């Protein structure tokens, strides 16, 4: 049983349509796939249809941009009602924040002598619900300024680089409550990824578990073996679900192939049990898992 619980489509910053992604998942011998686009449920219906057709189990989710203790934290929310008003409101704020900072980033790039305009980004963003830095990166590739997304982030777009601009992210503890009210379950994505610090620490995870956190994404390409070992021990101590995933972005991220990390079936069962409980408590119309 091969289970991949974190992937992106062109509804955010992946390079495949939801249908193409599910077809690729079937070709990669995945039994269960979650689609977790950034801050949107846009791709769910298309992915669910293709999954039903191909006999792949499908878990709808999203990866929400939140903030905790001054750091950006990506929160994977599985099976929330995407129509829950407080969730819609927060996601709109995040998406608006992405749109609002775009002119500033482009102005900074132009200040560096790069001839780039909004249209260049919108052309490559295509179906995306909101254009983000990966789309700016794609536009820079198209313009011949850099050779791939990684180079664009390294030179211009990562925090601290000259074209970076900050944007709104929802307070993590508020988002944990909203996801629960929406009948979904929350898992912190790549908790020790990117910034390279082992933060949040166990004490902070314990508080977040009290605030409704269900799991930690332990097996992720951003974590080395030592980090995985420590996160797994913390999850065990706190009774949190352990997940693993590819964080696949099509050709948009190298070394994140579908199924490169996976989630154990018993951990998925625990997660789905918690989702059923949250759904029942919430009284909301939560989405169904296809094929389970
Ligand atoms: P944004 O949502 O516009 O702030 O862009 C953040 C997204 O960019 C992340 O969620 C990743 O998918 C992507 N990203 C961040 N760093 C890199 C990188 N070094 N190379 C490629 N993609 C990246
Ligand atoms: Zn992404
Ligand atoms: Fe992420
Ligand atoms: Fe992701």
Question: Does position 195 have pLDDT exceeding 80, yes or no?
Answer: no
For residue 70, what are the CA distances in angstroms to 66, 137, 153, 289? 10, 25, 21, 34
As given in the structure block, the two tokens for residue 266 are 């018993």
Taking 80 as the threshold, does the pLDDT of residue 194 lie above it? no
Q: Report the relative pairing of strands 32-38 and 57-68 from DSSP bridges.
A: parallel
Cα of 109 to ligand 2 centre, how many Å?
Answer: 21
Note the pLDDT of residue 196: 72
Which fold, 99-157?
Answer: DNA polymerase; domain 1 (1.10.150)
**Test site for ligand 1: of 38, 39, 128, 133, most ligand atoms within 8 A of the Cβ:** 133
Is the peptide bond preceding residue 200 cis, with omega within 30 degrees of 0? yes
Q: State whether the beta carbon of 97 lies less than 6 angstroms from ligand 1.
A: no
Ligand 3 centroid to residue 75 C-alpha, Å: 8
Q: Is the pLDDT of residue 197 over 90?
A: no
Bridge partner residues of 64 (DSSP)? 75
Is the pLDDT at 17 greater than 80? The verdict is yes
pLDDT tens digits, one per residue of 216-271: 999 999 999 999 999 999 999 999 999 999 999 999 999 999 999 999 999 999 99
User: Which percentage of the chain shows pLDDT scores above 70?
Assistant: 100
> What is the value of pTM for the model shown?
0.97
- 53: confidence class by pLDDT, cuts 50, 70, 90: very high
Cα gap 197→190, rounded to integer Å:
12
């Amino acid at each position: 049983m091969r289970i991949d619980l974190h992937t992106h489509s062109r509804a955010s910053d992946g390079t495949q349509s939801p249908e193409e992604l599910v077809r690729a998942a079937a070709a990669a011998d995945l039994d269960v796939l979650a689609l977790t686009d950034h801050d949107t449920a846009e791709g769910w219906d298309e992915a669910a249809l293709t999954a039903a057709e191909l006999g792949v189990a499908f878990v709808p989710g999203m990866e929400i941009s939140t903030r905790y203790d001054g750091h950006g934290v990506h929160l994977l929310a599985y099976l929330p009602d995407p129509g829950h008003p407080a969730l819609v409101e927060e996601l709109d704020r995040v998406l608006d924040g992405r749109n609002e900072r775009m002119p500033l980033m482009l102005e900074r790039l132009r200040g560096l002598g790069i001839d780039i305009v909004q249209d260049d980004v919108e052309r490559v963003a295509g179906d995306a619900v909101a254009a983000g830095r990966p789309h700016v990166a794609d536009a820079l590739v198209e313009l011949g300024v850099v050779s791939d997304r990684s180079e664009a982030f390294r030179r211009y777009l990562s925090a601290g680089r000259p074209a970076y601009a900050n944007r709104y992210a929802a307070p993590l503890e508020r988002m944990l409550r909203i996801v629960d009210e929406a009948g979904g379950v929350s898992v912190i994505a790549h908790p020790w990824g990117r910034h390279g610090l082992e933060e949040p620490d166990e004490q902070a995870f314990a508080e977040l578990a009290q605030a409704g956190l269900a799991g930690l994404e332990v097996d992720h390409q951003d974590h080395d073996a030592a980090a995985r070992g420590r996160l797994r021990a913390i999850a065990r101590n706190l009774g949190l679900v352990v997940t693993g995933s590819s964080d696949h972005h099509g050709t948009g991220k190298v070394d994140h192939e579908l199924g490169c990390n996976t989630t154990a079936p018993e951990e998925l069962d625990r997660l789905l049990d918690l989702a059923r409980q949250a759904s029942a408590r919430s009284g909301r119309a939560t989405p169904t898992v296809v094929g389970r």
